[in-house]
Amino acid sequence: MLTVRIIPCLDVKDGRVVKGVNFLDLIDAGDPVEQAKIYDKEGADELTFLDITASSENRDTILDVVSRTAEQCFMPLTVGGGVRSEKDIRNLLLAGADKVSINTAAVQRPLFVQEAAKKFGSQCIVVAIDAKRVDGGDFQVFTHGGRRATGINAVAWAKQMVDYGAGEILLTSMDRDGTKKGFDIPLTKLIASSISVPLVASGGVGSIDHFSEGVIEGGASAVLAASVFHFGQVRISEVKANMSALGLPVRL
Amino acid sequence: MSVAIIDCGSGNLRSAAKAFEKMATKTTGPVYVTKCPDVVAKAKFIVLPGQGAFPNVKKGLDSIPGLRESLQEQVVDCGKPFLGICVGMQLMADVSQEYMPTDGLGWVPGEVSKIDPNRYLKNEDKPLKIPHMGWNAVTIYDSDHPVLNNIDNGSYFYFVHSFQLKVKKKNHLIATTDYGIMITAVVGRDNMIGTQFHPEKSQGMGLRLIQNFLTWCP
């Protein structure tokens, strides 16, 4: 049976991990490769790097990080943040990434997703959607870390991106992100049930139970989290044991 | 002596190359990602990965003068160990229905068709998510196959695909996986083996399969 994927996400800035686990045996806690190796050992099903490098001159640092990680971790690796052109995608894939996630560039020019899926295959194109509840109860797509409204309905957008060839949707609730209150279940459920491709739920995880809620109640195929893993509050193995006890298929 | 990973121009070979480089030894020789028929001819082991749509990968293979002939000669006539991965495995079939009917290499009789998200579902079930993406357990039929040495029944491998190969001859089916419907996971005959999953993305078990392949003497 296909198992639920648990995906730790590492925020990388100028080639360094911003928030990382600080285990005693770590030689360099800021090195993304060291962090990736820990998650690899702990049984992560995939790994995601989110590149939050702001300056354009440092943008290539992520390529080196991806390349060094891919030499040591033989599991699927997704890279997001600042993916704006086919050249960006090509460079990341050549460095060893398996998937790229596209967010703002898709909103700015939706056909970019179609062109990318055609060129590189849907299997490596993830569209990341940041959604937020607006007045009237609808969910809308936001960009720039939830600060900029687009006026686009989140469900319609997710469907359009799948039509354009996205192989997976990474959905982040901007209302829940950073709150530790758990996934936005109504949002997750709404999008997951509207699309034919797998949905990765993100934003708001604060405890072990939240992961299984995202799958059982939200209908997500995979769950992604950053800080709960980084600060060592929750171990990947604990999440999987909890899911398994609840009858969800996991890779133990 | 060397390992040739054939580059059909279809995306991400870096990831595959790194796993083979990790498992390569003095006996296997170096790993080359190549489009060159001569490099394929000199190799001891031949790997055909593949990502994206079947017709594109096939077109990529056919567009390089002499490459398909070299592959045919080395694998079918000389019997060199061959591993097809994902679309590379699907290319071993007679034909694929992805976008349009496209001929494969015809090494393993069978057809590649889209996974039907609604087939065999009970009333309360939701349609299957396509692509079939993630870690799934394999059921091994031919547990004596040298490339599956030390790989237990029920081991997990990483899949990502929307089409699947259905073989015509039962003895070519080496392993399957369960996605609500049965999906072909490994096919093979003689000196050829193909995996629908990505061994290069499947952590320890995947590396073990690659190591088995690189020590295979069919």
CATH code at B63?
Answer: 3.40.50.880
Collapsing DSSP to helix, strand or coil, A131 comes out as strand
Q: Residue A34 belongs to what domain range?
A: 5-245
What distance in Å separates residue B78's CA from the closest CA in chain A? 31
- B58 in a structural domain: yes
Residue A136: what pLDDT? 83
> Domain count of chain A?
1
- A252 in a structural domain: no
* B69 C-beta neighbours (distance < 10 Å), count: 12
Per the listing, tokens 């993406």 go with B133
Structural element, H or E, at residue A225: strand A222-225
DSSP symbols for chain B = --EEEE--S-S--HHHHHHHHHH--TTT--EEEE--HHHHHH-SEEEE---S-HHHHHHHHHHSTTHHHHHHIIIIIS---EEEETHHHHTTSSEE-SSS-EE---SS-EEEEE--TTTT--TTPPPPPSSEEEEEEEEES-TT-GGGTT--TT-EEEEEESEEEEESSGGGEEEEEESSSEEEEEEEETTEEEESS-GGGSHHHHHHHHHHHTT---
- B107 in a structural domain: yes
| Tokens at A213, concatenated | 């809620």
Residue of B nearest to A222 (CA): B134
Average pLDDT, chain B: 94
**Is residue A122 a contact partner of residue B131, using CB atoms and an 8 Å limit?**
yes
Rounded percentage of chain B residues whose pLDDT exceeds 90: 85
Tens-place pLDDT, residues B3-23: 999 998 766 688 889 999 999
pLDDT exceeds cutoff 90 at A21:
no
pLDDT exceeds cutoff 90 at B93:
yes
Q: Which amino acid is at A57?
A: E
Residue A190: what pLDDT? 97
- A110 in a structural domain: yes
Average pLDDT, chain A: 91
Q: What is the mean pLDDT of residues A186-199?
A: 97
**Contact between chains at B131 and A96 (C-beta distance less than 8 A):** no
- B16 in a structural domain: yes
**Is residue A32 a contact partner of residue A65, using CB atoms and an 8 Å limit?**
yes
CATH number of the CATH domain containing A26? 3.20.20.70
**Contact between chains at A2 and B206 (C-beta distance less than 8 A):** no
- A131 in a structural domain: yes
In degrees and rounded to multiples of 5, residue B43 shows phi and psi of -70, 155
Residue A26: what pLDDT? 55
Residue B78: what pLDDT? 97
Active site residue B78: no
Tens-place pLDDT, residues A123-180: 999 999 999 999 888 999 998 877 889 999 999 999 999 999 999 999 999 999 988 9
Residue A118: what pLDDT? 86
> Domain count of chain B?
1
Burial class (CB in 10 A: 0-12, 13-18, 19+), B119: exposed
pLDDT exceeds cutoff 80 at B111:
yes
Residue B45 pLDDT level (bands cut at 50, 70, 90) = very high
Q: Which of A66, A68, A123 to mutate to test the interface with B (most CBs of B within 10 A)?
A: A123
- B19 in a structural domain: yes
- Alpha-carbon span A124 to A104, nearest angstrom: 17
- Alpha-carbon span B7 to B3, nearest angstrom: 13
**Is residue B164 a contact partner of residue B113, using CB atoms and an 8 Å limit?**
yes
- A250 in a structural domain: no
- A31 in a structural domain: yes
B-chain CB neighbours of A93 within 8 Å are: 11-12, 14-15
Residue A29: what pLDDT? 65
Would the CA dihedral through A217, A132, B129, A94 be positive or negative?
negative
Catalytic residue among A51, A88, A130, A177: A130
Tens-place pLDDT, residues B114-169: 999 887 666 667 889 999 999 999 999 999 999 999 999 999 999 999 999 999 99
- Strand ranges across the sheet with B102-103: B102-103, B95-96, B110-114, B163-167
- A221 in a structural domain: yes
Q: Residue B39 belongs to what domain range?
A: 3-213
Active site residue B200: yes
- B218 in a structural domain: no
- A155 in a structural domain: yes
- A132 in a structural domain: yes
Rounded percentage of chain A residues whose pLDDT exceeds 70: 96
Rounded percentage of chain A residues whose pLDDT exceeds 90: 71
Q: What is the mean pLDDT of residues A52-77?
A: 88
End-to-end CA gap in chain B: 16
**Is residue B42 a contact partner of residue B73, using CB atoms and an 8 Å limit?**
no
Collapsing DSSP to helix, strand or coil, A178 comes out as coil
**Is residue A70 a contact partner of residue B14, using CB atoms and an 8 Å limit?**
yes
- B62 in a structural domain: yes
pLDDT exceeds cutoff 80 at A98:
yes
A221: nearest Cα among B179, B3, B203, B10: B179
Q: In whole angstroms, how large is the CA radius of gyration of chain B?
A: 16
